[in-house]
Structure 1
Amino acid sequence: MKTNTLINYLLVMATGAAVIACSTKANTAESTPGGISKLPVDVRVVAAMPLTQEEVVAGSVLPNREVTIVSEVSRKIVAIHFNDGSHVTKDQLLYKLDDADILARLKQTGAELNLAKLSESRLAELLKNESVRQEEYDVAFSKLQSLQATEDLLKVDLSKTIIHAPFSGYIGITKLQIGALAGAGTPLVTLQESGNVKIQFSIPEKYASSVKPGKQITFITSLSDQKQYAKISAIEPGVDPLSRNITVQAVAGNMNGSLKPGMSAKIFYSISNAGELGMALPTESLIPGANGYSVFVIKQGLARLTPVSIWNRNEAEAIISSGLNNGDTVMVSNILRTGEGTPVQVVSTK
């Protein structure tokens, strides 16, 4: 009796072990009608999406145009025709320098010039009748030309005593007052163009292809977190050999004058091109190799190793820019147990 009980107990244990073994095997691999095991895997069906990644860099606000007004001649300032820090218009008179001696020399030269014209005209008539020699007329004509040149030079000197604004904008604080001697080349005041400002910033060389003239960027300043817009106007042709950066300039509107040259700015610019598409995958689906990365794409129930190009990645996710087609089914689990052509069974889609 005890022997039969022991035999029945052993049979029950063997049957249970067989059931557990079969259940475990079913969880790890599923057999096809032909007896070929399929590897259970999780997948992701990729979908193309626009690439809109932004980078953030620091920059500066610069005047669109800025000049330092200087005197071309060494003369005393006799009048200032603007208020410090005010808005001036193009060709507006800014400074008047002393011109008394130039006017006196112009008057003297004018009198001599009139006499020289009369003399040249008289000798020209006499030369027609051969009453004077050619040499006498030539001397009178040469003197007339010399006096005309002297008058022209004096007029040029006179024009340098009047200093105008070369363009419209905001003028700074004058450095010299009425009565001071303005030496040749002495800075008098700074003029900055109004209406527009430049936003200057630098980007890493690897993003050189993402910035082009005419492309729009956004920026904020310390005055407000509200984003403002600027359009790229110029790009430095070369890369700085020390920083490996490229300098970029953009132009922004400043009609209200709130943007002051010298202010700091935070610039946001897209490093993707218009119409460029990518596909997101978890980083665990990537397989590193000697020539880059690959993934397993499921085609007709088999795993196919497919090279891909990574546009950008972080710890959790990678953006694929090429190598995959919209709607491809990519394995995201059991990667280490898979080889080229391995039969697989999709368990879940992530």
Structure 2
Amino acid sequence: MTTKRPMTKRMIIMLICVGVLLAALVGFNLFKAHMIRKFMASNAAPAATVTSAVARYQSWQPQLSAVGSLRAVRGVDVTTEVPGLVREIPFSSGQEVKAGQVLLRLNDDSDRALLASLQAAAELAQTVYKRDKAQYDIQAIARAQLDADAADLKSKRAQVDQQAALVEKKTIRAPFAGRVGITTVNPGQYINPGDAIVTLQAIDPIYADFYLPQQQLGQLQVGQTVVVDTNAYSSRTFDGKIRSINPRVDNTTRNVQIEASVDNRERKLLPGMYANVKIDAGNEERYLTLPQTAITYNPYGATVFVVKPGEHKDAHGKVMPIAQQVFITPGPTRGDQVAILKGIGEGTQVVTSGQLKLKNGTPLVIDNRVLPADSPNPTPQEQ
């Protein structure tokens, strides 16, 4: 009995030592794992501040778009056929004028005097013809004399008509109704034939000329509605209709020329302006859309960063989401938006700005106080 007690005591002490050693090893391993996690957490990628948007379905009206030029229905630089000294300019620059309204008068005093002389000669020839005809009726003169008198009368009248036409040309009139431009001609100035006096433009309605690819020709027809806008009036659009389609396709560009007549009763659109032309074509279509800024393009395709739940917590103890890159198939664009054909579904939250600093797993701080443009019909902003 005395021998067994020391043995039992030593066994108990040994077991206690082994237990303490095992507890120390387990504690050391737990402490090491905690320090490793703490170290890894301190060296994790910093959170990136981004904006985000949720992919939603929208109905889009398919449109054909083109950039065209505006052209007056009728436009001409008014000139003169005959030289002369400017006597009067009875119009103001920028004025609306009617067809036949006098725009300029040249000095025609000598021409009118010559016209009066020729008219007197024609009247005398008329008198001679009447007297000789009476003589011929009583067989007092020969038929040849009467024929000579008739020919002389026709010649005198032709000279009168020629001179009257010359006098008329000294008064320049508007060939059609429209708006005149700015003239640099002044009274007392001598002008030659062909010298421009002023431009005259009929601008209500106004024509929009534009080109579309031949593959879109089947979606066009005369009478189809068009909408025109220009950066001169960023908040305005102007309605019109296709007036004609060129029957010939350009064999170099394979484009076809379209002419549209645009309502311009307010005279805001001017010839020579460029304009954006949009034509509704086909039925409305439903697309999943995102802002165009959400898409990143690379040699492998188009990608977006999707917002996913994460594990890291911020300073306030809130779990931060992370970024995950996803390949998508983009479709048509409309304004600031792009259609997404494949890759994500409705309701997916996608990063719309700040993608350059992201990679898979990057913690995100979403700040949507300032968002990228996301309008299907954007308008330029005045600065």
Do both proteins adopt the same fold according to a TM-score greater than 0.5, normalized to the shorter chain?
A: yes
1:6-17 counterparts in 2 under 5 A?
A: none
Cross-structure match for 2:122: 113
Classify the secondary structure of the residue corresponding to 1:230: strand
| Partner SS, residue 160 of structure 2 | helix
C-alpha deviations, 1:31-84, integer Å up to 9, x for none?
Answer: xxxxxxxxxxxxxxxxxxx99411222112222221111101122211101011
Query: Which residue matches 1:290?
Result: none
Residues in 2 aligned to 1:130 and 1:181: alpha-carbon distance in whole angstroms: 57
Q: Distance in 2 between the 1:252 and 1:101 partners?
A: 48
Instruction: Give the aligned partner of residue 91 of structure 2.
Output: 82
Q: How many residue pairs are counted as aligned between the two chains?
A: 235
Q: Which runs of 5+ in 1 are unaligned?
A: 1-49, 281-311, 318-350
1:237 aligned onto 2:241: no
Indicate if the aligned counterparts of 1:76 and 1:98 stay in contact, CA closer than 8 A. yes
Aligned partners of 1:254, 1:277: CA distance in 2, in Å?
Answer: 29
| Structure 1 length-normalised TM | 0.62
8 Å CA contact 1:51, 1:278 repeated in 2: yes
Supply the distance in 1 between the matched residues of 2:75 and 2:156 (Cα, whole angstroms): 39
Question: What is the CA–CA distance in structure 2 between the aligned matches of 1:138 and 1:265, rounded to whole Å?
Answer: 67
SS of the residue corresponding to residue 155 of structure 2 reads helix
Matching residue's letter, 1:143: D
Matches within 5 A, 1:119-134: 119-134=128-143
Instruction: Give % identity.
Output: 26
Distance 2:82 2:202 in 1: 25
2:183 is the counterpart of 1:158: no
The one of 341, 344, 363 equivalent to 1:316 is 341
2:358 maps to none
Change (3 A) 1:225 1:279: closer
Aligned to 2:279: 269
- Whether the aligned pair in 2 keeps the contact of 1:54 and 1:269 (CA below 8 Å) is yes
Relative to structure 1, is the Cα distance of residues 148 and 221 closer, same or farther in structure 2, using a 3 angstrom cutoff?
same
Q: Distance in 2 between matches of 1:55 and 1:118?
A: 74
Contact 1:216 1:230 in 2 (8 A): yes
Report the structure number with the largest CA radius of gyration.
2
Aligned-pair CA distance for 1:181: 2.0
Structure 2 residue runs of 5 or longer lacking an equivalent are 1-58, 288-330, 333-338, 343-383
1:187 aligned counterpart, secondary structure: coil
Quote the Cα distance in structure 1 between the aligned partners of 2:224 and 2:257. 15
Shift of 1:279: 10
| Aligned Cα root-mean-square deviation (Å) | 2.4
Aligned partner (choices 218, 221, 224) of residue 215 of structure 1: 224
Aligned partner letter, 2:97 = V
Distance 2:172 2:149 in 1: 37
Q: Provide TM-score, normalisation by structure 2.
A: 0.57
Letter in 2 for 1:178: P
Tell me by how many angstroms 1:241 deviates. Answer: 1.6
Given that 2:238 and 2:263 are in contact with CA atoms closer than 8 Å, whether structure 1 keeps it comes out as no
Asked if 2 retains the 8 angstrom alpha-carbon contact of 1:88 and 1:170, the reply is yes
Would you say 1:71 and 2:80 are equivalent positions? yes
Corresponding residue of 2:9: none
Report the alpha carbon displacement of residue 219 of structure 1 after superposing the two structures with TM.
2.1
Q: Distance in 2 between matches of 1:239 and 1:227?
A: 29
Measure, in 2, the Cα distance between the counterparts of 1:218 and 1:279.
22
Q: Distance in 2 between matches of 1:62 and 1:194?
A: 8
What residue identity is the alignment partner of 2:226?
I
In the other structure, the counterpart of 2:190 is 181
After TM superposition, the structure 1 = structure 2 runs for residues 28-43 of structure 1, keeping only pairs within 5 Å, are none
> Is this contact kept in 2: 1:207–1:271, CA < 8 A?
no
Work out the CA distance in 2 between the residues paired with 1:209 and 1:175: 48
